[in-house]
């Protein structure tokens, strides 16, 4: 039984669970991780691979994102995983969007590392930008890109092989109580247990999840073929719709005009929560998306109408040598309206860590440092 005693046990091997394991193992604690699937298959591998501090509001959350970024940089060197410090480019094709960017930029004391760009300046940051009608842009240097489908298993392998974290893949934890957890067949002891199970609300502590108001968000995404001749996107891209999505812009009065115009031009964009980000992974493939549909009962089927809306908006600001769509998929993440995370002690020594609202890649390491 001595071999079944740990300082920290973690349920879930997505980015939140791995960040908790990384933080605890770095402190010299004995850590075990359980994942019911043979590998991580949830939102942690179904995303853009973007570390996106620019989306977090100034203050504690932006600071958390920047701490996460620093940990990603260190972890990428240790794990040998691909990470590109390519920054992000916000594009404006309407005067109201340019007003928002200028207002954001004027927050000189907020800590963002941004600079304003003229239409001519923008072209130096990405060959994908459509220049017709471009009013200008804003470049942020803090954003990074990883290839999620490779980065998550590489990080797990590093934790296991170098930091001594014990992993049990294909092992579904069926019971948790203070100091103990079981997969029905075997029992383990741990001083602290962290439940990082993503949208698997129905399995452990379902009543706590139900009463919290937490919900699920479905997003749709697409991937192109590898771009030819080593074509490089350079900075990750977004445009006016993205200003409506992230909390870092939400307080700006100039945003109202942008929202009203988009709602008038195409109400479906707001109905499906569409805004479009563009990233490029280590294989030269372009990752596109996404949409946001909320509820516990999300459809298991993709909507071609939503994919069409994403691609139509993409066409207003970006183009690539090869636009062939090689793959489409959807992801689901947990969101607690009005909150950026859901951390609660379910019973003594048992903590639920969830609800990072689609910002798990950006925020998990920083959050783990605060609560482990």
- Do 154 and 199 fall into the same domain? yes
Radius of gyration of the chain (CA): 21
- Do 195 and 232 fall into the same domain? no
Angstrom CA distances, 115 to 104, 137, 181, stand at: 10, 9, 50
255-273 pLDDT, tens digit per residue, is: 999 999 999 999 999 999 9
Q: CA-CA distance, 143 to 364, in Å (whole number)?
A: 15
Residue 195 lies in a domain: yes
The CATH number for 258's domain is 3.30.9.10
Residue 243 pLDDT > 50: yes
Residue 194 lies in a domain: yes
273-328 pLDDT, tens digit per residue, is: 999 999 999 999 999 999 999 999 999 999 999 999 999 999 999 999 999 999 99
- In three-state form (DSSP H/G/I as H, E/B as E, the rest C), the secondary structure along 45-93 is HCCCCEECHHHCCCCHHHHHHHHHHHHHHHHHHHHCCCEECCCEEEEEC
What is the domain count for the chain?
A: 2
Of 267, 306, 302, give the one whose Cα is nearest residue 290: 306
Residue 180 lies in a domain: yes
- Do 228 and 348 fall into the same domain? no
DSSP class of residue 229?
G
Which residues lie closer than 8 Å to 326 by C-beta, 6 or more apart? 223, 224, 225, 285
CB 365 within 8 A of CB 67: yes
Total Cβ atoms within 10 A of residue 369: 17
**Backbone dihedral angles phi then psi of residue 8, each to the nearest 5 degrees:** -135, 130
Which pLDDT score is estimated for 202? Answer: 86
Residue 56 lies in a domain: no
- Do 327 and 348 fall into the same domain? no
CB-based burial, 26-61: b 16+ in 10 Å, e otherwise: beebbbbbbbbeeebbbbbbbbbbbbbbbbbbeeeb
Which pLDDT score is estimated for 306? Answer: 98
Residue 155 lies in a domain: yes
Residue 110: band (very low, low, confident or very high) from pLDDT cuts 50, 70, 90: confident
Cis amide linkage into residue 166, ω under 30° from 0: no
Tokens 């949409």, residue located: 291
Angstrom CA distances, 359 to 16, 118, 133, 239, stand at: 10, 30, 31, 19
Instruction: Please list the residues that pair with 220 across neighbouring strands.
Output: 330
Angstrom CA distances, 151 to 75, 106, 155, 354, stand at: 10, 35, 6, 20
Which pLDDT score is estimated for 107? Answer: 83
Residue 108 pLDDT > 90: no
Range of the domain at 306: 88-141+215-335
Task: Count H helices and E strands in the chain, helices first.
Answer: 11, 20
Long-range contacts of 297-304 (CB under 8 A, 24+ apart): 298/216, 298/217, 298/218, 298/332, 299/218, 302/220, 302/328, 302/329, 302/330, 303/220, 303/272
Residue 1 pLDDT > 90: no
> What average pLDDT is seen over the chain?
96
Average pLDDT over residues 174-180: 97
- Do 136 and 252 fall into the same domain? yes
- Do 183 and 96 fall into the same domain? no
- Do 309 and 241 fall into the same domain? yes
- Do 99 and 117 fall into the same domain? yes
329-342 pLDDT, tens digit per residue, is: 999 999 999 999 99
Instruction: Please list the residues that pair with 33 across neighbouring strands.
Output: 10, 167
Q: CA-CA distance, 39 to 238, in Å (whole number)?
A: 31
57-77 pLDDT, tens digit per residue, is: 999 999 999 999 999 999 999
CB 46 within 8 A of CB 329: yes
Q: Where are the beta strands (DSSP E) in the chain?
A: 5-11, 31-35, 50-51, 83-84, 88-92, 114-117, 136-140, 144-146, 166-169, 175-177, 180-182, 187-195, 215-226, 236-238, 277-280, 285-289, 293-294, 325-335, 342-347, 350-354
Residue 2 pLDDT > 60: no
The CATH number for 199's domain is 3.50.50.60
């Amino acid at each position: 039984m001595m071999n079944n005693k740990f300082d920290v046990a973690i349920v879930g091997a997505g980015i939140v669970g791995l960040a908790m394991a990384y933080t605890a193992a770095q402190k010299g604690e004995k850590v075990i991780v359980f994942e019911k699937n043979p590998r991580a298959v949830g939102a942690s591998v179904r995303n853009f691979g973007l570390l996106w501090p620019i989306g977090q509001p100034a203050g504690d959350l932006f600071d958390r994102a920047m701490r996460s970024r620093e940990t990603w940089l260190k972890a990428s060197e240790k794990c040998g995983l691909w990470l590109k410090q390519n920054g992000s480019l916000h594009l404006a094709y309407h005067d109201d969007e340019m007003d928002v960017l200028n207002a954001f930029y004027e927050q000189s004391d907020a800590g963002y590392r941004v600079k304003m760009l003229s239409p001519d300046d923008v072209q130096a940051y990405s060959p994908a930008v459509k220049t017709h009608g471009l009013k200008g842009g804003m470049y942020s240097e803090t954003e990074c890109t990883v290839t999620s489908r490779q980065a998550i298993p590489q990080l797990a392998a590093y934790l296991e092989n170098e930091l001594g974290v014990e992993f049990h893949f294909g092992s579904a934890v069926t019971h948790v109580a203070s100091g103990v957890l079981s997969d029905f067949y075997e029992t383990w002891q741990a001083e602290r247990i962290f439940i990082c199970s993503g949208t698997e609300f129905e399995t452990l502590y379902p009543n706590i999840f139900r009463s919290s108001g937490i919900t699920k968000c479905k997003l749709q995404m697409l991937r192109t073929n590898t771009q030819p001749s080593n074509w490089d996107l350079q900075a990750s891209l977004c445009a006016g719709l993205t200003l409506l999505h992230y909390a870092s812009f939400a307080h700006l009065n100039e945003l109202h005009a942008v929202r009203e115009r988009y709602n008038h031009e195409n109400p479906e964009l707001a109905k499906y929560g569409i805004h479009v980000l563009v990233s490029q992974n280590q294989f030269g493939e372009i990752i596109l998306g996404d949409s946001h549909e909320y509820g516990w009962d999300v459809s298991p089927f993709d909507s071609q109408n939503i994919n069409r809306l994403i691609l139509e908006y993409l066409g207003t600001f970006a183009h690539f040598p090869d636009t062939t769509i090689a793959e489409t998929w959807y992801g689901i993440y947990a969101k607690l309206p009005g909150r950026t995370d859901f951390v609660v002690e379910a019973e003594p020594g048992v903590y639920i860590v969830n609800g990072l609202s689609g910002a798990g890649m950006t925020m998990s390491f920083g959050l783990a440092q605060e609560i482990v």
